[in-house]
Amino acid sequence: MGRHALLGEIVSRSAKELANHGAELGKLVTGGMVIVLAGPLGAGKTTFVQGLARGMGVNTPVTSPTFALIHLHEACPFTLVHCDLYRLQSEEEFEQLGLWEYFAPRYVVAIEWGQAFLAGLPENCVQIDILPSGEQRLLRVSGENTTALEKWVRSCQS
């Protein structure tokens, strides 16, 4: 769970639907938004970011940043910063990554496995916990209650 209240739960029955949920959020993102994606390997974190990128107007392919750790995808008006912190071992390594540079209005940051480093992330970050059960995924969204997030959760539930 994130450090804020649970805003809502969303169900996804396929990878395609999960990506579409991501795309809907991508259309509503605001500058400086930081999204933490938590959940086991194969939960659908990267799949979600692929949709998020599509919704933000990203044209470059989104792949897992397992080795580079940070991938930048330029789009208008925001550049998507996609990170995967799975391989990070310590707070020190996290600091060396210099992610803070991207906590700025021209970026939207999506961080797979970011939940271990919440102390180094903006207070108002959004956390999406993806809980798999067979082909189904339960998304638990927590964060500060903003109009955009509320709208997104509602649109995915309908």
Ligand X SMILES: Nc1ncnc2c1ncn2[C@@H]1O[C@H](COP(=O)(O)OP(=O)(O)O)[C@@H](O)[C@H]1O
- Residues 50, 141: contact at Cβ < 8 Å? no
In whole angstroms, how close is the CB of 3 to ligand X at the nearest point?
21
| Binder of residue 63, out of ligand X, Mg ion, none (CB less than 5 to 8 A by kind) | none
Site for Mg ion in 108-137 (CB under 5 A): 112
How far, in whole angstroms, is CA 20 from its chain's centroid? Answer: 13
| Closer of 40 and 77 to Mg ion (Cβ) | 40
Closest residue by beta carbon to Mg ion: 46
- In the 3-class helix/strand/coil scheme, how is 111-141 assigned residue by residue? EECHHHHHHHCCCCCEEEEEEEECCEEEEEE
Site for Mg ion in 47-86 (CB under 5 A): 64
In whole angstroms, how close is the CB of 136 to Mg ion at the nearest point?
18
DSSP label at residue 43: S
Would you tell me which residues interact with ligand X (CB under 6 A)? 12-15, 18, 39, 41-47, 112, 135-137
From the CA atom positions of the chain, what is the Rg in Å? 14
Which residues contribute to the site for Mg ion (CB under 5 A)?
Answer: 45-46, 64, 112
